């Protein structure tokens, strides 16, 4: 990375100079080194750590133009932002080594898409970074090709159109019978926007998550996936499968797809003893609920290696097998595909976009590590800082009001 190499080189030169025999005291030398670290790394921090104004700008654009099913994760705490020259579009990315891993497509009006892609490519070239876009929408495929990038199909997004969704008919017989089986066990669905208020339910969800992760031999993931958060998120919808004894059998979470007036399935976790048919009941009732709430679409998420459309010769399964192994085993992917297919979705192609075939091994490593990183601690830290900042501003505002209010002396003493 050109920027980082320059900073580190300058920092080493400064350290050698300051720590060489001189008349300065040890404390002064240490202070100079620390000051140098802060000053020299400021350009890196400015690039990789967005300030609050940039986060608000990215959030505003995402809430208007975020059409990708993973656009919600463009706003997570692990992301950095690159804004177009006009500031009308933004690219959300995480840096893994010297690979800029982009979450979905650029976010902004369509006429800004190609310019921001080209500007981001130039920026990354200056930093000596490799680029990869993850899960880009098929409607923008030609824009990436125009920019000189390459595409490979990684699977299909499972989209349910709520207007036509129904449990009636032969095609939905399997889902309908499975859901009824769970209901006979006394299972019903409870919905919540934001944090779960029922403490007993929340504790059970936490235990289900821990058991689920243990059974998979994994930890919480990140980048384009969420994690269980007991604090909740006011923008998410939670659906819990609960029985008459108030036992939580399973739960799912949905994140907003802002630009398509829709919702995307994120977490999907169940207890090992959950009643048969619980997951079918959860998703069927959730789609019906979101339909009543006014949603146009519900995404059941990416079906990796799915090629129902059979329209693209760049399909992952016939091109770069090493990425297949990095993103789960084929048997699990087929099982997930079969389950999602029950809900009679339409299938939208999703692609991985990269700059050069020679960079694919490095790109695969970066994608793997971006998703393996548990961002829950980072999210909690960011939430704490925002809360502290809000309280600090509130305290300052209150003190200012007190200082300027009638009945108080200019020295701050209360006048009785």
Q: Please report, for the chain, the start and end positions of each structural domain, with discontinuous segments joined by +.
A: 2-46
pLDDT in the model for residue 20: 46
C-alpha angle 166-64-153 in degrees, rounded to nearest 5? 65
**CB neighbours of 111 closer than 8 A, spacing ≥ 6?**
none
Tell me the pLDDT tens digit for each residue of 358-387. Answer: 888 888 889 888 888 765 444 444 444 445
pLDDT in the model for residue 401: 57
pLDDT in the model for residue 77: 86
Tell me the pLDDT tens digit for each residue of 25-61. Answer: 544 555 544 444 444 443 344 455 788 999 999 999 9
Question: Does the pLDDT value for residue 120 go beyond 50?
Answer: yes
Tell me the pLDDT tens digit for each residue of 260-307. Answer: 999 999 999 999 999 999 999 999 999 999 999 999 999 999 988 666
pLDDT in the model for residue 170: 94
Rounded average pLDDT over 115-122 = 98
Rounded average pLDDT over 4-22 = 40
Containing 125, the helix (H) or strand (E) segment is helix 110-127
**What angle, 0 to 180 degrees and rounded to 10, lies between the N-to-C axes of helices 2-19 and 110-127?**
40
Which comes out higher in pLDDT, residue 249 or 331?
249
Decide: 62 and 109 in contact? Cβ < 8 Å: no
pLDDT in the model for residue 85: 97
A 10 A CB-CB count for 333 gives 19
Query: What would the two tokens of residue 209 be?
Result: 């998550």
Rounded average pLDDT over 165-179 = 95
Tell me the pLDDT tens digit for each residue of 54-104. Answer: 999 999 999 999 999 999 999 988 899 999 999 999 999 999 999 999 999
Containing 257, the helix (H) or strand (E) segment is strand 248-257
- CA gap 416, 407 in Å, rounded: 7
Which comes out higher in pLDDT, residue 271 or 216?
271
What mean pLDDT value characterizes the chain? Answer: 80
Q: Of the given ranges (120-129, 345-354, 391-400), which has the lowest mean pLDDT?
A: 391-400
Decide: 27 and 59 in contact? Cβ < 8 Å: no
Decide: 237 and 257 in contact? Cβ < 8 Å: no
pLDDT in the model for residue 332: 63
């Amino acid at each position: 990375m050109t920027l980082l190499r320059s900073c580190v080189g300058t920092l080493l030169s400064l350290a050698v100079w300051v720590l060489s025999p001189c008349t300065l005291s040890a404390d002064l030398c240490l202070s100079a080194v620390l000051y140098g670290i802060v000053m020299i790394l400021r350009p890196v921090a400015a690039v990789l750590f967005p300030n609050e104004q940039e986060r608000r700008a990215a959030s505003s654009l995402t809430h208007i133009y975020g059409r990708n099913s993973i656009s919600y994760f463009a706003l997570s705490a692990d992301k950095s932002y690159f804004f177009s020259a006009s500031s009308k579009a933004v690219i959300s990315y995480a840096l893994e080594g010297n690979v800029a891993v982009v979450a979905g497509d650029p976010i902004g009006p369509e006429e800004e898409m190609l310019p921001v892609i080209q500007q981001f490519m130039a920026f990354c070239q200056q930093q000596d970074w490799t680029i990869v876009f993850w899960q880009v929408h098929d409607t923008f495929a030609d824009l990436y090709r125009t920019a000189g990038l390459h595409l490979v199909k990684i699977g299909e997004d499972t989209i349910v159109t709520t207007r036509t969704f129904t449990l009636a008919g032969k095609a939905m017989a399997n889902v309908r019978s499975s859901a009824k089986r769970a209901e006979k066990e006394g299972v019903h669905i409870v919905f919540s926007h934001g944090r779960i208020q029922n403490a007993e339910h929340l504790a059970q969800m936490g235990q289900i998550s821990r058991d689920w992760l243990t059974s998979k031999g994994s930890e919480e993931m990140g980048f384009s996936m969420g994690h269980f958060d007991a604090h909740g998120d006011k923008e998410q919808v939670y659906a819990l499968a609960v029985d008459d004894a108030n036992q939580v059998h399973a739960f799912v979470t949905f994140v907003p797809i802002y630009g398509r007036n829709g919702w995307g399935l994120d977490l999907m976790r169940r207890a090992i003893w959950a009643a048969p048919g619980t997951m079918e009941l959860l998703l069927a009732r959730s789609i019906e609920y979101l339909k009543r709430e006014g949603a146009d679409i519900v995404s059941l998420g990416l079906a990796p290696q799915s090629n129902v459309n059979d329209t693209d010769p760049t399909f992952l399964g016939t091109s770069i097998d090493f990425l297949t192994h990095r993103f789960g085993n084929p048997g699990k992917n087929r099982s997930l595909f079969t389950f999602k297919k029950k809900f009679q979705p339409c299938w939208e192609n999703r692609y991985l976009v990269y700059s050069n075939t020679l960079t694919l091994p490095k790109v695969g490593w970066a994608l793997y590590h971006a998703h393996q990183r548990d961002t829950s601690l980072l999210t909690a830290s960011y939430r704490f800082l925002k809360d502290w900042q809000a309280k600090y501003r509130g305290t300052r505002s209150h003190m200012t009001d007190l200082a300027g209010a009638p009945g108080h002396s200019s020295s701050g003493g209360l006048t009785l």
